[in-house]
């Protein structure tokens, strides 16, 4: 069978198509990404992770491998915490990296990772920076939020109402002057000390079962609202549970599972047609 190699994986049910492309030869157009991620005419995913050597893209990185991440609509994104975990697990299982600690390059900068013996992964997510406040509107209802940058933009709203009751089928409105390139929108409940529940509407994707950078933003925002800037919290998302730590100065880590579900080959005729 001839074709383009792919794998399917997920991190707390935030799912991805992985495309091994060490030399950076694949022409990964917006149309192809959107077709791959379509759950009827493609494989279905929240995004695409191209596995490419940093040198092939002339990307500055201390690591050999670069995560070229694309949203489901084909747009380029800076970072994805769940995606990095799946990417790192793939590198170890493919023999491209050794279990333990190594570096993955991303558009948000290098991300040190640790792949544990059980194949869960801890990612050093870099600083979670509070950048201000803004408002989002869901089904005509405004929610104030804390803006957080985790290498990509987030707006986190703390709710008294159960986040399970929100209707996130449509894109919530937000201030385009504050977020000219779009924003990931997190809605959280505090479950007690060191525990949050979250739902998320991701930029360029829609509601997803999980968002790694979003969980880090959620914890940073919750700590900020509580008058602190350090600590550890679990975050329950529809796809499972992760653990986030935020240290003084905003440095953060994200720990959680990473799963490889399937592998195969894309039909070359389908690939050619999807790029048009």
Q: Which residues are annotated as a binding site for substrate?
A: 14, 71, 81-82, 152, 184, 202-203, 212-213
Q: Is 190 an annotated catalytic residue?
A: no
Say which of 25, 37, 190, 211 is annotated catalytic.
Answer: 211
Q: Which residues are registered as beta bridge partners of 184? A: 154
List Cβ<8 Å contacts ≥24 apart for 176-183: 178/132, 178/134, 178/147, 179/134, 179/147, 179/153, 179/155, 181/153, 182/153, 183/147, 183/153, 183/154, 183/155
- Residues in the annotated binding site: 14, 71, 81-82, 152, 184, 202-203, 212-213
- End-to-end alpha carbon distance in the chain: 23
Say which of 25, 37, 80, 190 is annotated catalytic.
Answer: 80
Q: Is 211 an annotated catalytic residue?
A: yes
Radius of gyration, CA atoms only, the chain = 18
d(CA 66, CA 105): 4
d(CA 149, CA 183): 10
Question: Which residues are marked as active site?
Answer: 80, 211
């Amino acid at each position: 069978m001839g074709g383009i190699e792919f794998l399917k994986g997920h991190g707390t049910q935030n799912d991805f198509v992985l495309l091994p492309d060490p030399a950076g030869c694949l022409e990964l157009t917006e149309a192809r990404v959107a077709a791959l991620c379509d759950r009827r005419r493609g494989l279905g995913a929240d995004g695409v992770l191209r596995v490419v050597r940093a040198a092939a893209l002339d990307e500055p990185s201390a690591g050999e491998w670069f995560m070229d991440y694309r949203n489901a609509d084909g747009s380029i994104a800076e970072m994805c915490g769940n995606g990095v975990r799946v990417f790192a697990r793939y590198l170890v299982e493919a023999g491209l990296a050794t279990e333990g600690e190594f570096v993955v390059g991303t558009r948000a900068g290098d991300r040190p990772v640790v792949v544990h013996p059980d194949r869960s992964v801890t990612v050093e997510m870099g600083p979670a920076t509070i950048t201000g406040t803004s408002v989002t509107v869901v089904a005509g209802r405004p929610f104030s939020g804390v803006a957080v940058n985790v290498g990509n933009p987030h707006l986190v709203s703390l709710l008294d109402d159960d986040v399970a009751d929100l209707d996130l089928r449509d894109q919530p409105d937000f201030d385009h002057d504050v977020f000219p390139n779009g924003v990931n929108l997190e809605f959280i409940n505090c479950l007690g000390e060191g525990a949050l529940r979250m739902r998320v509407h991701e930029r360029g994707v829609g509601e997803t079962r999980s968002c790694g950078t979003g969980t880090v933003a959620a914890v940073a925002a919750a700590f900020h609202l509580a008058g602190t800037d350090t600590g550890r919290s679990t975050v329950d998302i529809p796809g499972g549970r992760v653990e986030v730590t935020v240290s003084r100065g905003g440095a953060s880590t994200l720990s959680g599972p990473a799963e490889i579900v399937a592998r195969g080959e894309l039909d070359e005729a389908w690939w050619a047609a999807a790029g048009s």
